[in-house]
Amino acid sequence: MPAPAAMDGSFRVMALGDSLTRGTGDPEGKGYVGYLFDHLKEKLGQEVSVENVGLNGQTAPQLAASLGQGPLQAQIKAANVITVSIGGNDLFKGGQTLSDLDPVKIKAIEDPYMRELDGILQQLRAQNATARIFLVGLYNPFIDLKDTVATTKIVRDWNYKAAEVAAKYSQVVLVPTADLFQLKVQDYLARDLFHPNAAGYRLIGERIASLITW
């Protein structure tokens, strides 16, 4: 069952996470959250409100720490849907990870992240028992560069393990995005060749919106 409507009757979306949530790379500044909002307004037939607290560069430990803040807790409690985009900065570290793809070193990044993700989802579920939570999976922005096989495997394994963590909690779903970018990644990346452009964000927003049906 969906979370109950907020007191004012609006359908509330809480967007947490990093620059992907913030919309970095989209010239219009909408990001996937903006396109999700557009789709929900059209399909739900009721007032939709969005709280976007995405921060450029945010990592999982930083997001986990922020969830203890009183005003943020109140917004989370009132949400019907919570979206979370976190992990890109933890894994890629601004591209530094590409210099050494040793599986042992990747695991040393991956294991603590999964523990942090577990803690984040545990906090969100404790603060809001019924909201649907959509964890935005990672895509591989480096798929056209060298070591494509290695980087794609790293992202695929990362997403699989994140989905396993998400599956521990009710009404929590990992939303895959890697396939959206895999075949034509350059068509969907911003000039920095890391963040999505408007077209890439639109694809992500549409995919999340397609899952919000009741």
Mean pLDDT in residue range 161-171: 97
Domain ranges (residues) in the chain: 11-211
For 175, the 3-state DSSP assignment is strand
The two tokens of residue 66 are: 């922020």
pLDDT, one tens digit per residue, over 68-82 is 888 899 999 999 999
| C-alpha dist (Å) from residue 31 to 79, 188, 195 | 19, 12, 10
- CATH of region 11-211: 3.40.50.1110
Mean pLDDT in residue range 15-34: 96
pLDDT, residue 54, reads: 96
pLDDT, residue 70, reads: 86
pLDDT, one tens digit per residue, over 195-213 is 999 999 999 999 999 998 6
Mean pLDDT in residue range 120-140: 97
177 CA to centre of own chain: 10
Mean pLDDT in residue range 10-20: 96
137 or 98, which is more confident: 137
pLDDT band at 8 (very low <50, low <70, confident <90, very high): low
Backbone angles phi, psi at 23, to 5 degrees: 95, 20
Residue 20 clears pLDDT 50, i.e. is over it: yes
The two tokens of residue 161 are: 């393990």
Closest C-alpha among 190, 193, 191, 212 to residue 201: 190
Mean pLDDT in residue range 17-29: 95
Look at the pTM and tell me if it is higher than 0.85. yes
